[in-house]
Structure 1
Amino acid sequence: MIRIILLVLSSLIYTQITAQDDNLFNVNTIPLELRIKSNAVVRSDYTHINVIDYDKFVFTNKRIITVLNKEGDYKIGAFQHYDDNIKIQDLEVRIYNSLGKEIKKIKKNEFKDVSAVPGGTLYSDSRVKYLEYTPINYPYTVLFETEVVYNSTAFIPSWRPIEGFYISTENAEYKISNSSDISVKVKTSNFKDYNIKRLSEYHFIAKNLKSIEPESFSPDFSTYAPFLKAALTKFEMEGVKGVNNNWVDFGLWMNNNLINGTQELPQNVKNTIKQLTATANTDMEKAKIVYEYMQNKTRYVSVQVGIGGWKPMDAEDVDKLAYGDCKALTNYTQALLKEVGVTSYYTIIYGDNKLLDIDKYFSATQG
């Protein structure tokens, strides 16, 4: 009898959840205030991160988004990066018409699969699977579900309850479960001005967030929109174990594990750079000579494989091959500066057309 009751309750719960999802596929159930100045509406977005150990976490995401017009097509977000340390376990999309009727199903092996690197990169093991879909009519709704196992844990997925301009959010949820003995750090920004609740230390929920319209001369979106970032205090980056209690720990780890031992130069190069700077009177003059030497000798070529995405090539190899990426050329330049007695600092920055600061109050892999 008890078993029968449990089965009935389970059936009722499943039916209720299914009915709730079906309700979200119908465009007519979108609240009017979320349609205003919106090209798309996130009906539901559930993100769950299960931390297994310092070198493993499982990421799951179930996302329902309604695209209202052509401008909203790029808001779908149905893609997933992967490499040798990021394994996609599940990936599926279902498309629904405006009334909530399923019209298409796309399985994992039907996603487009391409290299996830820009021009100038010689080789990288980073790839991305993404949805390529041409809608027949607007509006339409997309259900995107994925499960991914990460064996490199330097980057914990962040959370933006409002994902950008002209997109509203009906329901969004972010949760971290930690079954390891590793501490998790979380920092939230700009939550107080929005309908976002903290249910527990690592569990947040947002409801009915209206879209934001860009304004002339306004600061960058990231400075005032709600944002959450997370990091492990112990992590693994492509096979290299790291410590991240604070910026001192993180800086020492980077210097000792990624930079140390990479700045040896051939003797002839040491002699050449000393001769070129022999008549320079100031460190600034020496730095200009070193920079011009590096520019004339090398070119930009990127190789992003494994820890090579963060660990620079040896300065000796850069000199021999006459190429390197941003970190390799930086490291090579620092080695040259050191040889002529000029103090410099290997520094991580954001390389983009937007001016963004590294958060000095939250140590993590940034930039």
Structure 2
Amino acid sequence: MSRFYASLAALLLAGGSAVAGGSTPSYPVAALPAALRENAHAVIRNQEQTLVVKSASRSVETVRRAVTILDEAGAEWATLTVYYDQLNSVSYLRGTVYNAAGQAYLQLRPANVRDYGLSDGFSLASDGRGRIADLRQPTYPYTVEYEYEVVSNNLLFYPAWHPQPEEQLAVEKASFRVLTPTELPLRFQEQHLPAGVTAQHTLQGTTDVYQWQLQNLAALEEEPDAPPMHLLTPAVLTAPSNFEVQGHRGAATSWQTLGQWSYELNAGRDELPAAVKTKIAALVQGEPDERARIRKVYEFLQANTRYISIQLGIGGWQTFPAATVAATGYGDCKALTNYCKALLQAADVTAYCALVRADAPDIRTEFPSTQFNHVVLCVPLTKAAKADTVWLECTSQTNAFNYMGSFTGNRHALLITPAGGKLVRTPRYGMAENRQERRADVYLDAQGNATATIRTLRTGLEQEYANALLHNLSAVEQKNKIADRLPLSGFTITKFNLASGVATPIPTMVETLGLTVPNLAPPSGKRVFLTPNLLSRSSSLPAAVGERQADIWLDNAFVHSDTIRIHVPAGLKPESLPAPVKLTTAFGTYTSQVQTLPDGTLQYVRQLRMPQTRFARTEYAAYVEFRRKISAADKSQLVFVKTES
């Protein structure tokens, strides 16, 4: 599996030495076209990326990148981290700073490049490291040029070319070259390349040469509810046809062959000690239900293991033996998943490891390649009355049984079977699963102050934030985090409780609050005004500036329901109630209304239903109008008038 590099705590300033002037200017800022400065914090003046495949087990990648930093917001482009490990070595790393006129005046010296272990805080062993250079300057604009080379003995991964990976970054010129022996054909996929830009393929003896070049890409700005920027900008993805990692040969020409390599790499590493087999047999003895046996084994795993990342050479993809996990009680995602698979086997249940890209957009299913960073367990129910599948996240001591959530749900995974790899879908979570149901009682006094009791039930993806608070923070910290998210001012929390809800197929969380809210309904002369939508107000969206560029991705399906009962004191009576609102669109549906109950209590009921949908960019104006109407309805007010005493 690919290594997980956690964000570094801080970048370190690298010292330098002065460079004599007088040479021909390089990258003068005055030469930048005005169109490339517009909306840009930095401009890539030139980037040359070259991959030379020497064999199925060795490659050399060189990168030369010059970036003009226009202002402080673009300063990150003056820094660079080059990653390496046991299978990848850095041959050299050089850097030069040029002033606005294009004169070199500072060079990065090797002694000033800091070398760091990329520990993520929960790794027992990792050979991942980074060489970190930082040539940020106090005066803008300036240009930083870096050059480096990485020699790799791990050809499971080929580099991708993303010449414009972020917003507000323009590109003057960029190129990408791949040289590979004809017996190791390059596999590639082009994405969003400008018109006329495509692979230029030539043959130099027994070497295939591919080259892409582009220039003058204006800076882009992220748009609301758009796909991630890296899915919208030019890119070339590359992958091997055949590869070798520390003597283990494989092919990436299909999902089947890629999965076959992983299966063979880990074959025979699921043997358990006899004592553990006996313990599992006793655990499930007398339990005829297959799902119940799986649950018992999963709970045994959670109670007796913990996650620790281990990334050393081929160990990034080859699991620790199950017997090792049984002895130590820890392992990484591969080891814990393999261990759970072995435990289930001892319980007479067949399961399969599945590679998945966690906490990121789904893989490119049409381009077989190593796009994964995590392993989960897939358990087809073969003996149940109804065909079904159980999915297990084996690295968490608190994850709900058969729940993948936002981390690994709603995407594709590569099932690793004796016959090779097979793409399957992980569980999908839509409106039926992702719910927030809130009920509140608000008690007003004649001065417009209020107390409130609120109970919020959250399920599926909607409960994940609260679930994380419950399992990672103290009660005081939980309360503070919840308070930060309340759209009220001047309130005091008088009661707070956060707890897991009743066990269901989808995890639930229940939040209970008591509040005092001074001046919730501010008086104005004889009238008192109250916004009945206490906690679920939606914001509107900005209209597109110019023509919308990206399609609309609404990937978070949910249902939000609110029922707010407003208890009105003597001396106030309703004068004006908001009109009912009902919106039915392809984007979603919205309803809200206020009714007077027989006892005089006012009841506000609101529901917003948003499916997982995608729309063409031409629909953005209609989507903005839908959101505007929701925002307006959420702000509507009740008007009370003071009666004579």
Give the TM-score range, shorter chain. Answer: 0.7 to 0.9
The 1:62/1:250 distance shift into structure 2, 3 A limit, reads same
The residue number in structure 2 matching 1:13 is none
The residue number in structure 2 matching 1:7 is none
The 1:246/1:109 distance shift into structure 2, 3 A limit, reads farther
The residue number in structure 2 matching 1:198 is 199
> Mean Cα displacement is larger for which, 49-58 or 132-141?
132-141
Are the equivalent residues in 2 in contact too, given 1:54–1:180 (CA < 8 A)? no
Are the equivalent residues in 2 in contact too, given 1:60–1:147 (CA < 8 A)? yes
Q: CA deviation at 1:132?
A: 2.4
The residue number in structure 1 matching 2:341 is 334
What secondary structure is seen at the aligned counterpart in 1 of 2:354?
coil
Matches within 5 A, 1:1-367: 22-23=25-26, 25-76=27-78, 78-179=80-181, 181-191=183-193, 196-200=197-201, 202-257=210-265, 259-352=266-359, 354=360, 356-367=361-372
The 1:50/1:81 distance shift into structure 2, 3 A limit, reads same
Q: CA deviation at 1:75?
A: 2.8
Larger radius of gyration: 2
- Partners of 1:359 and 1:266 lie apart in 2 by 39
Are the equivalent residues in 2 in contact too, given 1:195–1:206 (CA < 8 A)? no
Are the equivalent residues in 2 in contact too, given 1:152–1:239 (CA < 8 A)? no
- Partners of 2:155 and 2:94 lie apart in 1 by 24
- Partners of 2:132 and 2:68 lie apart in 1 by 18
What secondary structure is seen at the aligned counterpart in 2 of 1:348?
strand
1:40-87 CA distance string (max 9 Å, x none):
111110011111111111111111111112221223462211223222
What secondary structure is seen at the aligned counterpart in 1 of 2:293?
helix
The 1:190/1:290 distance shift into structure 2, 3 A limit, reads farther
- Partners of 1:328 and 1:287 lie apart in 2 by 18
1:151-210 CA distance string (max 9 Å, x none):
22111111012111111111110010113621211111222x567343237211111112
Are the equivalent residues in 1 in contact too, given 2:79–2:136 (CA < 8 A)? no
Q: Which runs of 5+ in 2 are unaligned?
A: 1-22, 202-208, 373-645
Q: CA deviation at 1:363?
A: 1.8
What secondary structure is seen at the aligned counterpart in 1 of 2:355?
coil
TM-score of the aligned structures, taking structure 2 as reference length: 0.51
- Partners of 2:288 and 2:224 lie apart in 1 by 47
Q: CA deviation at 1:94?
A: 0.2
The 1:115/1:249 distance shift into structure 2, 3 A limit, reads same
The 1:219/1:164 distance shift into structure 2, 3 A limit, reads same
Q: CA deviation at 1:284?
A: 2.4
- Partners of 1:137 and 1:338 lie apart in 2 by 64
Q: Which runs of 5+ in 1 are unaligned?
A: 1-17
Are the equivalent residues in 2 in contact too, given 1:186–1:230 (CA < 8 A)? yes
- Partners of 2:253 and 2:318 lie apart in 1 by 21
Are the equivalent residues in 1 in contact too, given 2:161–2:235 (CA < 8 A)? yes
Are the equivalent residues in 1 in contact too, given 2:78–2:134 (CA < 8 A)? no
**Paired amino acid for 2:118:** A
**Paired amino acid for 2:127:** D
Q: CA deviation at 1:240?
A: 2.3
- Partners of 2:101 and 2:79 lie apart in 1 by 22
Are the equivalent residues in 2 in contact too, given 1:194–1:209 (CA < 8 A)? no
1:8-28 CA distance string (max 9 Å, x none):
xxxxxxxxxx96xx44x2111
**Paired amino acid for 1:269:** V
Considering only aligned residues, what root-mean-square deviation do their CA atoms show, in Å? 1.9
TM-score of the aligned structures, taking structure 1 as reference length: 0.88
Q: Which structure shows the higher strand fraction?
A: 2
If asked which structure has higher relative contact order (CA below 8 Å, sep 6+), I would say 1
Are the equivalent residues in 2 in contact too, given 1:51–1:180 (CA < 8 A)? no
1:226-267 CA distance string (max 9 Å, x none):
22111111112244222222111111111012x201101111
- Partners of 2:110 and 2:64 lie apart in 1 by 15
Q: Which structure shows the higher helix fraction?
A: 1
Large movers: runs of 4+ above 6 Å: none
What secondary structure is seen at the aligned counterpart in 2 of 1:346?
strand
Are the equivalent residues in 2 in contact too, given 1:162–1:225 (CA < 8 A)? yes
What secondary structure is seen at the aligned counterpart in 2 of 1:347?
strand
- Partners of 1:29 and 1:280 lie apart in 2 by 76
- Partners of 2:79 and 2:175 lie apart in 1 by 16
